[in-house]
Amino acid sequence: MTTISFLGAGSVVFTRDLLTDLMAFSDLGDLRIVLHDIDADRLSTAESLAQRMSADRPGTTVVAESDRRRALEGADFVVNSIQVGMFEATLRDFEVPARFGLRQTIADTVGIGGIFRALRTFPVLEGIARDMLEVCPDAWLLNYTNPMAMNVAYLHAVAPQLKVLGLCHSVYWTVHGLSELVGVPMDQVQFRSAGVNHQAWLLEWTSQGQSLYPRLDELIAKDAELRRRVRVDMYRRIGYYPTETSEHSAEYLPWYMHHDEEVERLRIPVGAYVGISQQNLDEYADTRRRLQAGEPLPQDDRGATEYAPQVVHSLVTGTRREIVVNVPNLGLIDNLPAGFTVEVPAVVDGSGVRPEPAGSLPTQCAAVNAAYCGTGMLTVEAAVTGDPRKVRQAAMVDANTSASLSVDTIWALCDAMVEAHGDLLPEALRAPLAL
């Protein structure tokens, strides 16, 4: 029997998607699904969901466990999708920086929002790592929680012996969308990407041995509205297509967010994630209501698209797959910092997970990644060393923040964020800091 523990299982729509993909595999054998969440109502909803979904799959056991350590006992795989602070913390990540004149769109990967989301997530990650090393030391931790790169780097710093994969679907959906745009079926496309999470680069994109980039170039040249997208603008200037949405990409860069005319030209949805978060709350409420009323749940007909179920299936059955993973840069990308998290292709099968070295990125791509990596490394160092000055330094080297605010304003903003998030942050980083 394979045991899969879901941490943050109360994110029931995401849990539903993962379970749908898992249960689509008929050759996985018996499954023990353990659900954990600190919110009793969400945990109960997730349990009802999983019980309904597993009713027609023999050999599936569902357990709901409010105690994290017990939820991890005997796990073969641990899927992490926690969100520390939930919607209220997300609102603070937007509202406080906005008072200082800083624009953000999603605020969960780098930037001020990403820095402070990381800092309030790290203490929980350290607890998860400690529990896993004691009760399921051989388990794989499959992380979906953002900020992906910082979280994986932090786990590598505090628990290097833990088997951790960061999983994100942005590369897949980027290639899927582009291939649909140029009229080539996804199953006829080959691709290779590398970089960092949410800012990797589509280095190769071919069909029948021919690059598909010329087709994309023709479409862009003919369509003025297509040119009004951040990542299309990035592609035209950098030469390689970035692997995250325009909404995300805009706030990872120094070029767009602080110019009113660029926000207008590229249709950048400032503050978009606040609305998305509210939609997630509404979707949870609707799912809860449907379960309680015995109504059918919405169906997703995309097929198996999430990587965690594919990793589980490949490691358990030996089926060979090529996916994209986020792992420490241990000889994988030559011109990005060693030790920090990179996103590269990997082969997964019964013998394990083998990330594939990508060599050196094109110089311009590595240069764009540099600020992202600098912010992430300093944020991790801040938590590991307990040095609040490094929090400010992380913000100072962040691309959008440094392009938008003076250094004095950046420090004042960090002070305000520390006050706003309070005891969600590591204790050492809550201390006032004067120059």
CATH number at residue 316: 3.90.1820.10
Burial class (CB in 10 A: 0-12, 13-18, 19+), 25: middle
Q: Is 146 annotated as a binding residue?
A: yes
Question: Smallest Cα–Cα separation from 398: which of 252, 196, 234, 201?
Answer: 252
pLDDT value of residue 303: 56
The reply to whether 15 falls in a domain is no
Which pLDDT score, from 0 to 100, does residue 56 have?
85
DSSP structure class, residue 64: E
CA 425: distance to chain centroid?
Answer: 20
Q: What local confidence, expressed as pLDDT, does residue 110 receive?
A: 97
Helix (H, G, I), strand (E, B) or coil at 241: strand
CA atoms of 81 and 402, how far apart (whole Å) = 30
Structural domain boundaries, residue 361: 85-106+167-270+306-427
pLDDT along the chain (435 residues), means of 10: 96 89 92 96 94 90 97 98 95 97 97 98 98 98 98 98 97 97 97 98 98 98 97 98 96 97 97 87 87 79 78 98 98 98 98 98 98 98 98 98 98 97 95 80
pLDDT at 35: 97
**188, part of any domain:** yes
Q: What is the DSSP string of 161-185?
A: TSEEEE---HHHHHHHHHHHHHT--
Catalytic residues: 169
- Is residue 137 included in any domain, yes or no? no
Q: Which conformational region is residue 80 in: left (phi greater than 0), alpha (psi within -120 to 50 degrees), or beta?
A: beta
Is there a domain that residue 392 lies in? Answer: yes
What's the confidence (pLDDT) of residue 172?
A: 96
Residue 319, in any domain of the structure: yes
* Phi-psi region at 297: left, alpha or beta (left = phi > 0; alpha = psi -120 to 50): beta
Closest by CA to 63, choosing from 263, 243, 75, is: 75
Within a domain: 367: yes
Check the annotation: does 168 bind a ligand: yes
The answer to the question of residue 39 being in a domain is no
Q: How many CA atoms lie within 13 A of 305 on its CB side?
A: 17
Number of domains composing the chain: 1
- Predicted model pTM: 0.96
Instruction: Answer yes or no: is 334 within a domain.
Output: yes
